[in-house]
Amino acid sequence: MALDAVVRHRSVTAAAAELNLTQSTVSRLILTLEEQLGKELFTRERRRLIPNSAAINYQRDVARALDMIQRASMSVVTNPDGGTLSLAVLPTFATRWLGPRLGGFLNAHPGVGVNMSTRIGRFDFAGEVFDAAIYYGQPDWDGARHLKLFDERVTACVSPEFAASRPLTSLDDLVDVPTLHLESRPTVWADWFEGQGGVPSGAGGMLVDQFSMMIQAAISGLGIALLPDYLAQIEIAEGRLVPVMQHAVPVRGAYWLVWPGEKESYAPLVAFRDWLTHSASS
C-alpha cells in the first residue's frame, strides 16, 4: 500500500498523510520492499521519490490486486451467503436496457449480488476483476465465450423542431443534413442507407463516444441520430425525438454477453446467463 500511495502522489509526505503513517515509516517500507525485490524502484531527490518504470508497472499490478481484495471484502460484507457477479457493461445499455430489468434478476436470485462498471472498449479478462461483460459487435472477443443477446436495429431520429424545419421523407432530403456518428459504430450509416435502398450521402457531422451524448445532440437540433430501437422507442414515446424514413433498419452487429472460460460454471454467472437469455428474447 505504501508503494501504491507513493507512486500515485509522487511524494512521501502525501503518501504518509493518506496512510496515516510517519514519513520515516513510509520511507522505511519502500526501502524494505526494494531490498526484498533486489531492485531500486525510485530515484531519490531530496525528500521526493521519483518512480522508475519498474515501480510504475509494479504499482499498476498492486493497484489491481488491491481492487480485487476490496471487491472481495465488499462482497463478504454485503452478500455473505451468496456469490457476487462483477459485470462490465456499456454505459447507455446499462441505464436504458439492463438497469430497468435487473430488479427481476435480483428478486429471483436473492443470494446473488451484482456489481457493475461501465466499459466501452474490450479488455483482457486476465488483467481485470470482471466475471463477464456485455458489449456490442461481433462474436470475436479473444479468449472469451459468447452468448448472443439480440441483433441491433436502428431508427433515424431528429428533434421535432428539426423535422419541422425541412422535409425528411426521401434520401435526397438528407444530402445536406448533418449526421451524428458513434465511434463504436463506424459502419452503421452505410448499413442504414443500404436498408433504405440507397447509398450514404457523405454528409458529415458530430462524432461522439456514447449514445447519451448523441441523444442530447439530436434533441438539441444538431443533426440526425441513428438509435438502437431500445433507445429510440423511449425518446420517441417521450416526444423528444421523432423518427424519419423507414424504421427499425437491421445493421451489422449484435449485443453479446462474454465471459472467460474459467468462469463457465461460476454459479452467479450461470444464473445471470440463464436469466439474460430469457430477458433478451422476451
Higher pLDDT, 77 or 233: 233
Give percent of the chain with pLDDT exceeding 90.
57
Q: What is the pLDDT of residue 124?
A: 92
List pLDDT tens digits, range 191-216.
Answer: 999 999 988 766 678 999 899 999 99
**Mean pLDDT of all residues in 177-182:** 93
Q: Is the pLDDT of residue 166 over 80?
A: yes
Phi, psi (rounded to 5 degrees) for 58: -65, -40
Whether the predicted pLDDT of 232 surpasses 70: yes
Of 257, 261, 216, 258, the closest CA to residue 235 belongs to 216
pTM of the model: 0.70
Task: Pinpoint the residues of the chain covered by CATH 3.40.190.10.
Answer: 82-144+255-281, 151-254
CB 101, CB 149: distance < 8 Å: no
Question: Can you give the C-alpha Rg of the chain in angstroms?
Answer: 25
- The predicted-structure confidence for 119-155, as pLDDT tens digits, reads as follows 988 999 988 889 999 999 999 999 999 999 999 999 9
Cα 128-132-137 angle, rounded to 5 deg:
105
Mean pLDDT score, 21-34:
85
Amino acid at 198: G
Rounded Cα gap, residues 232 and 235, in angstroms: 5
Chain centroid to CA 66: how far?
21
The CATH number, out of the four listed (1.10.4080.10, 1.10.10.10, 3.90.650.10, 3.30.465.10), of the domain defined by the range 2-77: 1.10.10.10
d(CA 155, CA 140): 26
* Per-residue model confidence (pLDDT) at position 159: 97
CATH 1.10.10.10 intervals, the chain: 2-77
Task: Judge whether 89 and 101 are in contact, CB under 8 Å.
Answer: no
User: Could you tell me where the DSSP H helices lie in 38-132?
Assistant: 53-78, 91-93, 99-108
Q: How many CA atoms lie within 13 A of 75 on its CB side?
A: 19
Reported as a single tens digit per residue, the pLDDT across 77-123 is 555 445 899 999 999 999 999 999 999 999 999 889 999 999 988 99
Helix, strand, or coil here: 10?
A: coil
The better pLDDT of the pair 183, 60 is held by 183
Percent of the chain with pLDDT over 70: 92
> For the chain, what is the mean pLDDT?
88
Query: Hey, what CATH topology would domain 82-144+255-281 get?
Result: D-Maltodextrin-Binding Protein; domain 2 (3.40.190)
Confidence category of residue 34, pLDDT binned at 50, 70, 90: confident
One of 3.20.20.150, 3.40.190.10, 1.10.10.10, 3.40.920.10 is the CATH number of 151-254, namely 3.40.190.10
